[in-house]
């Protein structure tokens, strides 16, 4: 067991890579009443082409299979249902699948060790039959139909689909009705045996229990399960174009207001910087220039050019040869053309003062320190750090303290909106 010291907050993270390859991180908080666990795999809606474990040929799976697999793992060959087991203990259990990950999580105040063992077992003991797979199809099709009618999900998916050409963003995480219908138990086992190997997974725990005891319980549990030591994950590598997939599109849905998303695609290598620091700097710049506290946002609202505050997001997307940053700026406007014109003018004249930097950096550091006062805060820190870096280390936490104004300006000067994609969603009545 290795100790990761976060000296700035006087916290310790206990880490061990088990013999089967599983990464386990534990934070002990004696005074907390709640225990929290997340167990996740690097398998999401984008992972459709790969070589199944112990096979030689690349296969292509139906869209939505990662989400389907998440559903099926909650069905065991036991009379006691997973939900019922956790409800009986007064605990909360759930899971989610996004484009890149599938995560299972639970919280409890009592009987933690017993529930942890059960939690690991039901995730690591798949039970798929022709009958239960067929039954699940109807349930997931209903979810897919709800997704088709959800303008928020459509808008979110279209954002990515119109920026990226070859990364499967044209597929939904839930899957199309045709793809859901085509999924077989054999498909599920191939995906499970490939992506649910401990070497492709991570276990995060925040607990009031003794960390050594918890590690011993996990090791004992994992030692009873047989996993191939020759495991190697081979996914198809996609070559992505530098240009956006679709520079401009208008879609019509059941919405009352015009939604606008202005996305920028940038090759991250132009910044020549640690990606975690880069993420901080981009957030600094966007917050200062576009957030609801910014003069730009307030002026647009005052002039009634936008109806709601501007929001933004930054995502990093790796391909076979490059990593692309996608910056998406979203708002609601009755005067779309004028809004886009003013937004582009602003993006071509981004500013950032030293006073802004000092204020935002203090806020980031304060938020980072405050996170360790709650179970959810600690778990979100652990999860986000692992998602970003594929590991958790003291260096990640310290980076917020190392940020400089000079580096922020270097990043600002390299932001360009030349490679853009504009997505507009209008009410159906305007079509």
Supply the residues annotated as catalytic: 70
- What are phi and psi for residue 349, nearest 5 degrees? -140, 50
Which residue in this structure is represented by tokens 């590598």? 237
Closest among 65, 347, 74 to 188, alpha carbons compared = 65
Identify whether the C-beta of residue 281 lies closer than 8 Å to the C-beta of residue 359.
no
- What are phi and psi for residue 120, nearest 5 degrees? -60, -40
User: 183-212 burial, b if ≥16 CB within 10 A, otherwise e?
Assistant: bebebbebbbbbbbbbbbbbbbbbbebebe
State how beta strands 23-28 and 323-332 pair.
Answer: unpaired
Burial-class residue 249 by CB neighbours within 10 Å (0-12, 13-18, 19+): middle
Q: What is the three-class DSSP state of 256?
A: coil
Helices (H), 78-150: 82-88, 112-123, 130-148
Closest among 35, 33, 39, 59 to 47, alpha carbons compared = 59
Question: Residue 195 and residue 50: Cα distance in Å, rounded?
Answer: 10
Question: Residue 5 and residue 7: Cα distance in Å, rounded?
Answer: 6
Closest among 190, 229, 221 to 59, alpha carbons compared = 190
CA angle 366, 396, 231 (to 5 degrees): 140
Identify whether the C-beta of residue 219 lies closer than 8 Å to the C-beta of residue 18.
yes
131: how many CB neighbours lie within 10 A of its CB? 9
Burial-class residue 295 by CB neighbours within 10 Å (0-12, 13-18, 19+): exposed
């Amino acid at each position: 067991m290795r100790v990761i010291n976060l000296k700035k907050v006087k916290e310790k993270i206990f880490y061990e890579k088990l013999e089967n390859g599983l990464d386990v991180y534990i934070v002990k908080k004696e005074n907390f009443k709640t225990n929290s666990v997340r167990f996740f795999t690097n398998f999401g809606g984008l992972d459709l082409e790969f070589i199944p474990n112990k096979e030689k040929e690349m296969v292509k799976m139906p869209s939505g299979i990662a989400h389907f697999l998440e559903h099926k793992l909650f069905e065991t060959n036991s009379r006691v249902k997973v939900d019922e087991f956790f409800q009986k203990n007064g605990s909360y259990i759930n899971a989610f699948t996004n484009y890149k990950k599938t995560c299972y999580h639970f919280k409890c105040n009592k009987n933690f060790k017993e529930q942890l063992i059960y939690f690991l077992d039901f995730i690591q003991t798949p039970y798929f039959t022709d009958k239960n797979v067929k039954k699940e199809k109807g349930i997931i099709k209903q979810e897919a139909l709800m997704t088709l009618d959800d303008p928020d999900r459509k808008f979110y998916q279209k954002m990515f689909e119109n920026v990226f050409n070859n990364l499967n963003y044209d597929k939904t995480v839930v899957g199309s009705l045709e793809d859901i219908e085509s999924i077989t138990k054999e498909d599920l086992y191939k995906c499970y045996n490939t992506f649910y190997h401990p070497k492709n997974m991570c276990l995060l725990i925040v607990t009031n229990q003794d960390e050594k005891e918890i590690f011993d319980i996990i090791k004992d549990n994992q030692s009873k399960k047989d996993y191939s030591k020759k495991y190697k994950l081979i996914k198809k590598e996609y070559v992505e174009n530098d240009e956006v997939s679709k520079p401009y599109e208008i879609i019509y849905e059941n919405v009352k207001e015009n939604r606008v998303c202005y996305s920028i695609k940038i090759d991250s290598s132009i910044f020549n910087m640690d990606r975690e620091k880069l993420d901080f700097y981009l957030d600094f710049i966007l917050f200062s220039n576009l957030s609801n506290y910014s003069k730009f946002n307030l002026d647009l609202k005052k002039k009634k050019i936008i109806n709601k505050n501007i929001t933004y997001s930054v995502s990093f997307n790796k391909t076979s040869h490059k990593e692309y940053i996608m910056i998406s700026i979203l708002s609601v406007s009755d005067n779309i053309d004028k809004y886009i014109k003013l937004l582009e003018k602003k993006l071509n004249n981004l500013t950032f003062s030293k006073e802004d930097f000092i204020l935002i950096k203090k806020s980031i550091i304060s938020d980072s320190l405050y996170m360790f006062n709650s179970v959810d805060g600690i778990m979100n820190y652990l999860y986000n750090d692992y998602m970003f870096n594929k590991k958790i280390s003291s260096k990640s936490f310290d980076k917020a303290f190392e940020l400089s104004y000079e580096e922020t300006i270097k990043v600002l000067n390299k932001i360009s909106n030349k490679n853009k994609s504009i997505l507009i969603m209008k009410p159906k009545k305007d079509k």
